[in-house]
Chain A
Amino acid sequence: MEIKATIIDEEGLNRTVTRLAHEILERNKGSENLVVLGMRTRGEFLAQRIHKKIMEIENKEIPLGVLDITLYRDDFRTRLKQPEVSTTNITFDLNEKNVVLVDDVLYTGRTIRAALDAVMDIGRPSTVQFCTLVDRGHRELPVKADFIGKNIPTSFNEEVKVKMKEIDGEDAVYLVEIKKENNES
């Protein structure tokens, strides 16, 4: 694995979070009935920051939850490793709410598909919106994000690595190259 480029640095991430918070508020005409759900693992921390920023701007409390989508994945049969399940923590009602799902990278669209199923099992929100820090393309399902931090066209042998201080010790987004065996280049 080799870092090809730094796409977003610490300052950049701060600015992006601020912009995303404003965009979310603009689209929803304020924070009435707004709830923020972070998708484990890195989406959780990103959601915390966006949530904090929204509360700073609006100067009021907004619910924040964490969604674990492991049990809704569609690749249980094809993956070699058993994924570790974690807990969903949503202590409030989702009915008639405007739910903003937050994740770090939008790629094939399968994670957000699973997240939609998970949300619908918990309640019936008025709207569900999706906010991602990076959209790297290569969708396999017909989904798109409502709020995008940065669009980064990538190739299949590249990967977008989002680092968050809470678990990685730094804030950054890197474009890395995955070296495959028998790679000709």
Chain B
Amino acid sequence: MPLSSKHLLGLSGVPKEDIQLILDTAVTFREILERPIKKVPTLKGKTIVNLFFENSTRTRISFELAQKRLSADTVNFTTSSSSTKKGETFKDTVLNIEAMKIDMIVVRHQSAGVPQFLTKISNASIINAGDGRHEHPTQALLDMYSIKEKIGKIDGLKVCIVGDIAHSRVAISNIAGLISMGAKVSVCGPATMIPKSIESLGVTVHHDINKAIAENDVLNILRIQLERKAGTNIPSLREYHNYFGVTEERLEKNNKDILILHPGPINRGVEISSEVADGPYQVILDQVTNGVAVRMAVLYLLGTMN
């Protein structure tokens, strides 16, 4: 069974079967990453454009590696060196790139809804690599893959997303994906960082990090996003660390079996202590490796769809 859509814009409203198919397919690609020649010829002749209107290290390199390992031809676009600086509109930029005969677009943009807009002006398959505060579906997929790889299942697990929920597209995608895969999802953070109607997404809210650690199987710790003005929502980073920072002491006191995820980049000593970030509870770098496999799975499933 192929995926139900030729685009991946988010995980909200995506059928469970699609998420399952992506996670299952990623297992195949994870194996390829362990081979001496980490490349398969599957997307030979397909052209993929990476449109990154916002800074990114992990996601951009991860997508690019995933594309190269599937033998696709890739072109990278970054705003700083493009004609948008000469006043070209976003739509014209995309139409010009499209005119060069491309098959897929991976897009990251600071405004929510840009990937959706692209599906209306382009015939290519669109993959959202993060749009504003809206969604970041491949991150949530790789988080779920990492949970499944470590614990063996997602269904029935209790997962808490900790941190700046209000500014986080990772949180929104994770909540949608995890709930449809049968997990019980909660969020934890200061009241100023939790949107008022978040319960309508089907999650419960914690304000006590110790309780969140004690009651959950998995903690997905989000970064305090200073570039998105998160600093105005908390008195100081030090206070945030004192109340919500995940430290070894808190883990050992409340729950020694917990699994720690973090989408990166990590702020050591803010949302996570260095001991935890390098310690036995976390799978932060496994998440990065799995990210390539999951993105290969998405590119494969969308790129070979007829």
Contact = CB atoms under 8 A, between A and B. Distances in A.
Q: Is the A/B pair a real complex?
A: yes
Contact of A122 (B2, B37, B42): B37
A72 B280 CA distance: 38
B253 interface: no
B39 to A, nearest CB: 7
B13 interface: no
Interface string B159-189: 0000000000000000000000000000000
A76 B28 contact: no
Contact of A72 (B25, B40, B301): B40
B301 A82 contact: yes
Contacts of A123: 36
Given A82-B2, A87-B28, A88-B31, A121 B304 contact: no
Contact of B40 (A83, A86, A121): A121
Interface in A111-150: 117-118, 120-123
Interface string A71-101: 1100011011111011111000000000000
B41 interface: yes
Interface residues of B, dominant DSSP: loop
A68 interface: yes
B306 interface: yes
A71 B25 contact: no
How big is chain A's contact interface, by range? Answer: 20 to 34
Interface residues of B, number: 18
Nearest to A79: B306
Given A79-B306, A80-B306, A71 B42 contact: yes
A118 B304 CA distance: 19
Contacts of B191: none
B42 A121 contact: no
A71 B2 CA distance: 15
B301 A76 contact: no
A82 B306 contact: yes
A88 to B, nearest CB: 6
B300 interface: yes
Nearest to B35: A122
A85 B300 contact: yes
Interface string B31-63: 110011101111000000000000000000000
Given A85-B28, A89-B31, A122-B37, 10 more contacts: A71-B41, A71-B300, A77-B306, A81-B2, A81-B306, A83-B304, A85-B300, A88-B31, A120-B37, A121-B36
Interface of B: 2, 25, 27-28, 31-32, 35-37, 39-42, 300-301, 304-306
Interface of A: 68, 71-72, 76-77, 79-83, 85-89, 117-118, 120-123
